[in-house]
Amino acid sequence: MSAEALLEVRDLSVEFASRHGALKAVRSTSFTMRAGETLAVLGESGSGKSVTAMSIMGLLDPVRSRTSGSITFEGTELVGLSRARRRRFPGRNIAMIFQDALAALNPVQTVGSQISEVLRVHQGASHGAAKAQAIEYMDRVRIPAAAQRYSSYPHQLSGGMRQRVMIAIALALQPKLLIADEPTTALDVTVQAQIMQLLTELRRETGMALLFITHDLGVSAEVADRIAVMYAGRIVETGTAAEVYLHSRHPYTRGLLDSIPRAAQKGQRLTPIVGSPPPLTAIPRGCSFHPRCPRAAEVCTTDRPELREISAAHCSACHFAEELADARG
């Protein structure tokens, strides 16, 4: 494990059994995270982002899935731990907030009691102390009238308020790593901005690392220190936000960027990525992106490109990465 790495994922692969054969959701994925940094994982739906996060949290069903590779957190290997030890490992180490807060919260318990329960179970707080701390956390994530909202049920809150409750529950665990799995997808644009600003401020205040899973390139550019782009279960490009956005070295990343509307291109047609991602039970040989890639050559259909360093801290899994070096404005 790298000396300064908080989290190190090496050759992680996850398969699910299906009636069409093995569904390869994640394939030989590797990345590291340092304490306090924000890593954004980008990609279309089905690219493996959420499965990667669930693997780190230990939330995949071991009967229905098969995980191989290594997930190391502060020197502790998580892959292969017994279910009992794996369930105890999160908490103050790793916490997660989900896309659908209404589904993640217990509908028959008040939001305050759900925060209090975390404090009682993980910190041994008394009922009174847990309630007082829960209200403090609700206030910290800017839930108005926190003391009154303590007794509200999830359905009585707006989507933005429910997501703030989820963040409060995660903060109560005082994690070193927070995984946010598309936490703003179901929210309107104004609330999205508020939630992302809140997460950024909390990361700075607490020093926790943030693994941010999203398909929103604009949000990633604002909050991420580094970006990892996933396609068909593999990371195809990594680098700082500036390197990936201004000097992308993979055709898939470039296709994502070209599909974003820009004020300077008003009235012009967008350039979409042709076709669809491959079924994860029948991933093409060679580069999995080659059926959709405008630069595909014969070698792309036979040889799988490995993720390799193009420049300092910038890696690409493309045979022609060096030819994609033109800058973006």
Give the pLDDT score at 162: 94
Amino acid symbol at 247: H
- The pTM is what? 0.90
The one-digit pLDDT tens for each residue of the chain (329 residues) are: 455 789 999 999 999 998 888 999 999 999 999 999 999 999 988 899 999 999 999 889 888 899 999 999 998 999 988 777 777 776 678 999 988 888 999 999 999 999 999 999 888 899 999 999 999 999 999 999 999 999 999 999 999 999 999 999 999 988 999 999 988 877 888 888 888 899 999 999 999 999 999 988 888 888 899 999 999 999 999 999 999 998 999 999 999 988 877 666 666 677 788 889 999 999 999 999 999 999 999 999 999 999 999 988 899 999 999 888 754 44
Return d(Cα 134, Cα 149) in angstroms, integer. Answer: 11
- As given in the structure block, the two tokens for residue 99 are 């896309």
Residue 37 CA to residue 145 CA, distance in Å, equals 32
Identify residue 11 by its one-letter amino acid code: D
Say how many C-beta atoms besides its own lie within 10 A of residue 172's C-beta.
Answer: 27
Q: What is the pLDDT of residue 327?
A: 43
- Give the whole-angstrom CA distance, residue 70 versus residue 50: 17
Residue 209 phi/psi, 5-degree rounding, is -85, 155
